[in-house]
C-alpha cells in the first residue's frame, strides 16, 4: 500500500478520517478507507504533521475520528457476505478522472482508479452490502482486508448514458 497516495487523496478532498475498527487502524477521506497495519497510531497533531498541513490551512480540512459512512461499513476480514466483482481492464475516462467499471449483481458501478492505485497490484475486489443496502467494494490481498471503497454512483449514470449513446450511434437504435 502506498501511504503517500493516501495522503494525496485525503488532501485533495480536504478530509482525513483516522480511526480504529476491527482491531486495526484505518485512514480515509469518506469515499475510501485504507488499513494502516504496521503504522503507528497517530494523534490529531501527528496527523497534521505527517500530512504536512500548515497552521494556516488546518481550518480548511475536516479531521475526524469517524464520519457518517464509517458506521455503514464492516471492517472485519471475515464473516461478511461478499460478492464477485467483474472488473473491466479498460477505464472510463471523463473530466473528473479515470474510473474502472465493475459489474455487481448485473449493475455497473464505477470505481475511482485513484483509490484502486493505492493498493498497487495483487489485490482482488469483492462487493459487500451495507445494512442500508448501499454497495461498497472490499479490497483484499489474499485473505486480508486492505481497504473499502464506495463506488462513484453519480458517475454511473453518466457512464450508462454514454454507453446508450454509443450503442445508438453504432446500431442505429436504443439499447434494449
**pTM summary value:** 0.85
**Would you give the DSSP letter of residue 142?**
T
pLDDT digits over 128-156, tens only? 998 888 899 999 999 999 999 999 866 55
pLDDT digits over 22-46, tens only? 999 999 999 999 999 988 888 889 9
E strand segments, the chain: 15-21, 24-28, 32-35, 62-64, 83-84, 86-87, 92-94, 97-104, 107-112, 124-129, 135-141, 144-149
pLDDT digits over 90-118, tens only? 887 876 788 888 888 888 888 999 999 99
Burial class (CB in 10 A: 0-12, 13-18, 19+), 97: middle
Amino acid at each position: 500500500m502506498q501511504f503517500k497516495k493516501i495522503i494525496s487523496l485525503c488532501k485533495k478532498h480536504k478530509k482525513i478520517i483516522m480511526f480504529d475498527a476491527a482491531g486495526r487502524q484505518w485512514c480515509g477521506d469518506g469515499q475510501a478507507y485504507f488499513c494502516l497495519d504496521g503504522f503507528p497510531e497517530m494523534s490529531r497533531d501527528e496527523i497534521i504533521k505527517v500530512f504536512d498541513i500548515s497552521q494556516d490551512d488546518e481550518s480548511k480540512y475536516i479531521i475526524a475520528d469517524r464520519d457518517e459512512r464509517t458506521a455503514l461499513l464492516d471492517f472485519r476480514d471475515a464473516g461478511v457476505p461478499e460478492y464477485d466483482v467483474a472488473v473491466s481492464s479498460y477505464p472510463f475516462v471523463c473530466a473528473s478522472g479515470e474510473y474502472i467499471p465493475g459489474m455487481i449483481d448485473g449493475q455497473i458501478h464505477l470505481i475511482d482508479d485513484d483509490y484502486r492505485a493505492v493498493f498497487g497490484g495483487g489485490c482482488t475486489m469483492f462487493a459487500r452490502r451495507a445494512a442500508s443496502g448501499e454497495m461498497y467494494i472490499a479490497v483484499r490481498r489474499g485473505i486480508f482486508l486492505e481497504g473499502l471503497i464506495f463506488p462513484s454512483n453519480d458517475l454511473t449514470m453518466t457512464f450508462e448514458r454514454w454507453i446508450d449513446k454509443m450503442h445508438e450511434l453504432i446500431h442505429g437504435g436504443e439499447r434494449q
